[in-house]
Structure 1
């Protein structure tokens, strides 16, 4: 899906790492939320509160998933899933974009 319809979008961005990672929250009619974000080159560590499906929509990300020692590359169009209450790292060498879907 290239676009969302009949949604609300937060005017204020979620800003992380001195502005190097930003996202906007999209709220759907059923109350579910996703975020659309941009990642500038660098390496970042995140934690999850709930489960997430991260879809890379542009560029590419290298991801160090929980309980692993190897970085895995995800190109535009690919996705990975994270459990709740875990930490993971991402790094990129070019500007990347993502869509994060929250799952219970």
Structure 2
């Protein structure tokens, strides 16, 4: 069953699924700045556009472009800055 999620007054939207690749979300982000928290380890891949990300322990934002990935540990908080509408794929693991 697909689950549709909406955050930040509709500025971030995702569709969650669980298939042979495990739990995933595919989503889009409008221009803006966002803070997310994690309950599981996440691997995020930029599908279109770019995300500027402040990961736990990093001193500054890093930019990830289409095709690039980054990892976020479970139980952490990270910030994302989006300067153009962008899409992502997020894979979750325990």
Q: TM-score range by the shorter chain?
A: over 0.9
Structure 1 runs (4+) deviating above 3 angstroms are none
Q: Which has the larger radius of gyration?
A: 1
Alignment correspondent of 2:13: 22
Q: Distance in 2 between matches of 1:54 and 1:76?
A: 11
Alignment correspondent of 1:56: 46
Q: Give ranges in structure 2 of 5+ residues lacking alignment.
A: none
- Is the partner of 1:74 in helix, strand or coil? strand
* One of 85, 88, 91 as aligned partner of 2:81: 91
Q: Give ranges in structure 1 of 5+ residues lacking alignment.
A: 1-7
Q: Distance in 2 between matches of 1:60 and 1:90?
A: 10
Q: Number of aligned residue pairs: give it.
A: 94
TM-score (norm 2): 0.94
Bigger fraction of residues in strand: 2
TM-score (norm 1): 0.85
* Structure number with higher relative contact order (C-alpha < 8 Å, ≥ 6 residues apart): 2
